[in-house]
Amino acid sequence: MKKPCFRLELFLALFLTTAVFAGCSPLPKTNNMSGGKPETGGKPKEVFKKSVFIPDGYYEPIPDLGAKGYLLQALAPDVYFFTTGAYNTMFITTPKGVVVIDPIHGKGPLLKKAIREVTEKSPKYMIYSHAHLDHIGDAHLFAKDVQIIAHIETRERLERYKDPHRPIPQISFGKNYSLNLGGIQIDLIYPGEGHGKGNIMIHLPEKKVLMVVDVATPRSVPFLNFVTTDIYSQIKGIEQALNLDFDVYVAGHLHRPGLKKEMLEVLKYYLASKRANKAALKKISFQDVQARSRTQDPERLFGEYYQAVAKECHRLLRKEWKPRLMGFEAFTSGHCDVWTGFHRTEVAP
């Protein structure tokens, strides 16, 4: 039996590192994503020994992607899920052409091949879920023949960035936008700021398929510090997503699509981490931390206090959530910190 690749690979891909682990199942070739530094020759450095990979929480191995380097799966008639392991997206085929969504950075040529597997039609539209380079960095490979659609905030960002890899959308909208191509309805919905500004949901009501990127990866805690600019709005956005009619969703990450109940599970984690942080702030007293501390430096003391709060919050969550979601040890303390910031500055609703 082939040894599964520890899911940490996925996280390290997300960390934008180029770490390579010897002996794992084939992964998509190391991606030089935003900020990632390409290896400059020689053997890539082995960061961890393989024997260290003994997950004691939930994890899903990345399946073998085969020689093609991607997996393709029909989510519904005419709707295709495309993944290269750590990243995913979807596209829609219609008699009038293809609707491409999020051409993943470094994976555009594979996405083109995947489209060719199922249709002779050419891309007509391209939708950006949001402006982030790792998700739309190969847009330039499709841009010549398509109309690009995105939220107005995404357009404004891309106008500022002037990145030739991410061409500026010709069509932008504020709240909602509906596209109907070849009889297939695609609703673009802006739930408000969460994972940055302009991050939209892409809903195919007749197909019962939803795409919502970077906010609720199935069976995973959210990425570093929730990668959010407005945590409360992000939660409201997930609640709004759950009110839509869909059976499966495309999260932007993971080797497979998610089920509605898996989105709900991640939402429960957001709320559980908020509650745990509140309880930790109540339990951990600054005076107690000060009495135990050896430091004379008030700045260090504050640091120790907030670390103690995050540690207690992490402890409260660990028993239930570590066996349920991937990434717990990597990201939960950071989530606790985010909630500390929130509870210190907001009257928590």
Residue ranges in contact with Zn ion by CB under 5 A: 132, 214
Rounded to a whole number of angstroms, the minimum distance from the CB of residue 120 to Zn ion is 32
Rounded to a whole number of angstroms, the minimum distance from the CB of residue 90 to Zn ion is 16
Distance CA 202, CA 236 (A): 16
CB atoms within 10 A of CB 338: 19
Q: Which two tokens stand for residue 205?
A: 């009501």
Nearer to Zn ion, 143 or 215 (CB): 215
Q: Which two tokens stand for residue 244?
A: 């839509």
Distance CA 149, CA 155 (A): 9
CB atoms within 10 A of CB 179: 18
Strand partners for 80:
74, 91
Least Cα distance to 189 among 172, 208, 207, 175 occurs for 175
Nearer to Zn ion, 214 or 337 (CB): 214
Rounded to a whole number of angstroms, the minimum distance from the CB of residue 15 to Zn ion is 14
Least Cα distance to 315 among 345, 284, 257, 276 occurs for 276
Rounded to a whole number of angstroms, the minimum distance from the CB of residue 151 to Zn ion is 13
Nearer to Zn ion, 217 or 332 (CB): 217
First to last CA, the chain: 50
Nearer to Zn ion, 188 or 309 (CB): 188
CB atoms within 10 A of CB 273: 25
Rounded to a whole number of angstroms, the minimum distance from the CB of residue 252 to Zn ion is 7
Nearer to Zn ion, 28 or 222 (CB): 222
Residue whose CB is nearest to Zn ion in the complex, by number = 132
Nearer to Zn ion, 105 or 207 (CB): 105
Rounded to a whole number of angstroms, the minimum distance from the CB of residue 190 to Zn ion is 15
